[in-house]
Structure 1
Amino acid sequence: MKTFTSRPVILQVLPTLDAGGVERGTIEMVQAIAEAGGLPLVASAEGRLVPKVTYYGGRHIPLDLGRKSPLAILRNAIRLKSIIASEGVSLVHARSRAPAWAAKLACRRKKTPFVTTWHGVHNENFPGKKAYNAVLSEGDRVIAISNFIADRLKRDYGVNDERLRTIPRGADTLQFDPEAVRGERVRAVLESWNIDDDGAAIILMPARLTEWKGQGLLLDALAIMQREQWTTRPWVCVLVGSAPKKSGFPNTLEAQARELGIASHIRFGGHCSDMPAALALSEMIVVPSLRPEPFGRVVVEAQAMARPVIVAAHGAAMETVRHGETGLLFPPGDARALAEMIAATLEASVEQRMALGLAARENVLAHYTTRSMQQATLGVYDELLGTTLVVNRAATP
């Protein structure tokens, strides 16, 4: 292990800096590295979060690292090797598979410490996929974003305790604080969703518009609740999130809502730039993913805002939600069970919903903050570099 007496240079690599949990985690570490006295660099394609790198004291290096062909990976490895040399990079942190392959090759040639974070589920549903995934298990340190992912890395990829570090994602509890959201922000979000302030309860589902996230299941559940008249309260459901380019899934959802007779209750919110205000507006947040979530940041952010959450009971949700205490868990794929929980939450008293939400926020403050994630990741860098980034950042106000 080399000990650094000068400013350590940490390079994070990922496909792009657009919206998403991987991207937001990258920006959070840019902030932490800079505050600790390091120099944060990010290599990726362009995206809406690029200005944040500069804002928090880092520098962005435009590089298309998302291409998966062996030739593209080899070319990117050569480019990263040059960047490591010219920028004096101390450590490379890879957050996605194609960038990780290029970074691994570059780090091997330069004998540079290599850290990976396993952010996704990364299925093994065709030949060679497991071998492609495996690069994220080959870092000098491998970060799992939940116990669910850590167990898989141990079981399926042979990552031992010496290299494995479990560091849950977190919520920025200063930004996601119900006391910090005021009227004008709430009004702006309501207008963007085309909702009148008429007292209708808002059921919010924030997720990318893709089939496995479960928007279709939520529509089925809402139709059951409406048909069987389980609540007398007026309600509207907002699906917040964008769809992949050229996806026909939003049209499919609109057609499903019309066929179920609930189209007048459904809004498509698109990308939301003020999620704390969106969460503050909502009576509940529903996360009905059909596949296990590797972490589920939106669940923790909603809990930080002291909102009731209803979440499919698999993946990391089994860690972040305690049924009946900090949220509600329903059997994955069960539209009727989901409908029952939505109706029960609508019919619960204000005091009951408040108690659930406050317990959820306390759990987040204790276990799932952005700051604790940042400190733990800086600690991983310190292990490999012999630096004192954690101590330096702890001294910042």
Structure 2
Amino acid sequence: MILLQLIPQLEAGGAERTTLEVAQAVVAAGGRALVVSEGGRMEAELAALGGELVRLPVASKNPWTVWRNAGRIARIVRSEGVDIIHARSRAPAWSGKWAAARTDAHFITTYHGTYNGKTGLKRWYNAVMARGERVIANSNFIADHIRTHHPFAADRIRVIPRGVDLDSFDPQAVAPDRVAGLAAAWGVEWPSSRLIALFPARLTGWKGQRETLIALGQLKAEGLTMPLTLLAGDAQGRDAYRGELESLIAQYGLEDDVRIVGHCTDMPAAFAMADIALTPSVEPEAFGRTAAEAGAMHRPVIAADHGGAREVVLPGETGWRVEPGNPAALAAAIREAVSMSAERRAAIGERAAHFIRTQFSTRALQAATLRVYDEVLNSQP
């Protein structure tokens, strides 16, 4: 089988990570895995897994560029003998759909988010993600969203949750020197006398960093023994938002309690350094990969009570779920996590690890995706 995946860029993110995981599975099964993208920091990893990057301007939403990309992709399909085009984002999905229509390639999509659409034109634009021969939803939450907004696709939906690399996200696999090296790079004392809270997400408003700082400010005013909170995520192109966060840190006197540490390339070590993880997104996550990764690393998670997080975090068992966008509710959960004994937090972490390992794994994602590929290859495009 020759697979061609479409993803705008290969920077950090769940869709990008899944692109690489599926490429790895196809190569391991004896196929070829092409990825059409503008590239990014994950290019070398793709190559190491046996994937092949084809650089095209597929991040562009310019209609003329999208149309021209369709012709470029169609030529690649013919020259390389591509069997399946798998689109993971809207603009390249339009190009891929038109390319499939000009060739014998099958066309499938993965619906990676809710793709908010308030106008008829935007809803039409979004609908391309539901027009694959099979439409992969990365959570039951997303599957329900597709059924509601694109009922015509209901019989083509296949739910494949995102997976966690359980070999990498395993406390036993993370050597102490890796953690110590990362802590030194971030200027963090480790082992730490303070509880460490890790917030693993790119710096963007909907992820909830703003609300987290407000919650920490409330706890600081109460005189609570504060956790050291690490905001670990890419801020590229969002300098204004980073500046807003720095202003909030100063406003609430959190200079000694919060660090903005930037993009992290060793997330297992980051979770090993932490005691709890925060994923309080204001808008619903399609799945919540970082919450699952934290759970696999035996770390309790405080997540927002909506979207895919409801499938990943079990309140009272593996962590906490709080009202989205409510700093007071978030502060209450952080207060409880900080105040409980290390033994109780460890017990929650153990339950989280067991749940994630039995429900969500990269191997399960890869196997299920290959089954979908087999399904379409045995049908007419």
Q: TM-score range by the shorter chain?
A: over 0.9
Matched, 1:123 2:113: no
Residue of structure 1 aligned with 2:302, choices 310, 323, 338: 310
Shift of 1:170: 1.1
* Fraction of identical pairs, as percent: 43
Task: For residue 325 of structure 2, give the secondary structure of its aligned residue in structure 1.
Answer: coil
Residue 59 (structure 1) aligned with residue 52 (structure 2): yes
Match 2:125 to one of 126, 132, 152: 132
Is 1:156 aligned to residue 175 of structure 2?
no
Equivalence for 2:78: 85
CA, structure 1 residues 358+25, in 2 after alignment: closer, same or farther (shift >3 Å)?
same
Indicate the residue corresponding to 2:328 in structure 1: 336
Q: How do 1:1-397 and structure 2 match up within 5 A?
A: 8-197=1-190, 198-229=192-223, 231-232=224-225, 234-245=226-237, 247-386=239-378
**In structure 2, what is the Cα distance between the partners aligned to 1:188 and 1:378?**
38
Query: 1:246: Cα distance to partner?
Result: 5.0
Scaled by the length of structure 2, what TM-score is found?
0.97
CA shift, 1:318, in A, is 1.1
Distance, in Å, in 2 between the alignment partners of 1:272 and 1:53 is: 18
Alpha-carbon separation, structure 1, partners of 2:207 and 2:49: 31
3-state DSSP of counterpart to 1:41: strand
Task: Answer yes or no: is the 8 Å Cα contact 1:283–1:346 preserved in 2.
Answer: no
Change (3 A) 1:159 1:279: farther
Does the 8 A contact of 2:303 with 2:322 survive in 1?
yes
TM-score, normalised to structure 1, is 0.93
Partners of 1:300 and 1:102 in 2: how far apart?
A: 32
Tell me by how many angstroms 1:172 deviates: 0.4
Aligned length: 378
**Following TM superposition, by how much is the alpha carbon of 1:127 offset from its aligned partner in structure 2, in angstroms?**
4.4
Hey, what's the Cα distance between the residues in 2 that align with 1:172 and 1:263? Answer: 34
Using the alignment, how far apart are the partners of 1:9 and 1:62 within structure 2?
Answer: 17
Task: Tell me, in whole angstroms, the C-alpha distance in 2 between the residues paired with 1:18 and 1:195.
Answer: 26
Q: Which amino acid aligns with 1:312?
A: A
303-312 vs 192-201, greater mean Cα deviation: 192-201
Residue 13 of structure 1 aligns with an amino acid whose one-letter code is L
**Alpha-carbon separation, structure 1, partners of 2:370 and 2:362:** 12
Q: 1:22 to 1:174 in 2, by over 3 A?
A: same
Q: Distance in 1 between matches of 2:150 and 2:50?
A: 36
Letter in 2 for 1:207: A
Instruction: Name the CA distance, whole Å, in 1 between partners of 2:90 and 2:77.
Output: 19
**Which residues of structure 1 form unaligned runs of 5+?**
1-7, 388-397
The whole-number CA distance in structure 2 between the counterparts of 1:53 and 1:380 is 22
Distance 2:29 2:47 in 1: 16
Q: Take 1:115 and 1:342, find their aligned partners in 2: how far apart are those partners? A: 41
What amino acid does structure 1 have at the position aligned with 2:239? S
User: Displacement of 1:14 after TM fit?
Assistant: 1.1
SS state at 2:199 partner: strand
Q: Answer whether contact 1:153 1:159 (CA < 8 A) is retained.
A: no
Q: Is the 8 A contact 1:308 1:353 kept in 2?
A: yes
- How far residue 337 of structure 1 moved from its aligned partner, in angstroms, is 1.6
Distance in 1 of aligned mates of 2:249 and 2:107: 47
CA distance in 2, matches of 1:266, 1:128: 42
1:386 positional shift: 3.4
| 1:38 aligned partner, one-letter code | G
CA distance in 2, matches of 1:386, 1:33: 17
1:168 and 1:276 map into 2 onto residues whose CA distance is 20
Distance 1:26 1:228, change over 3 A: same
CA contact (8 A) 2:74 2:102 kept: yes
Aligned to 1:394: none
Q: Which has the higher contact order (CA 8 A, sep 6+)?
A: 1
Shift in Å at residue 53 of structure 1?
Answer: 2.1
**Once the 2 structures are TM-superposed, how far is the Cα of residue 200 of structure 1 from its aligned partner?**
1.4
- CA gap of 1:279–1:159, structure 2 versus 1, over 3 A, is farther
Partners of 2:57 and 2:65 within 8 A in 1? no
The answer (yes or no) to whether the contact 1:30–1:40 under 8 Å persists in 2 is: yes
Q: Which residue identity lines up with residue 220 of structure 1 in the other structure? A: I
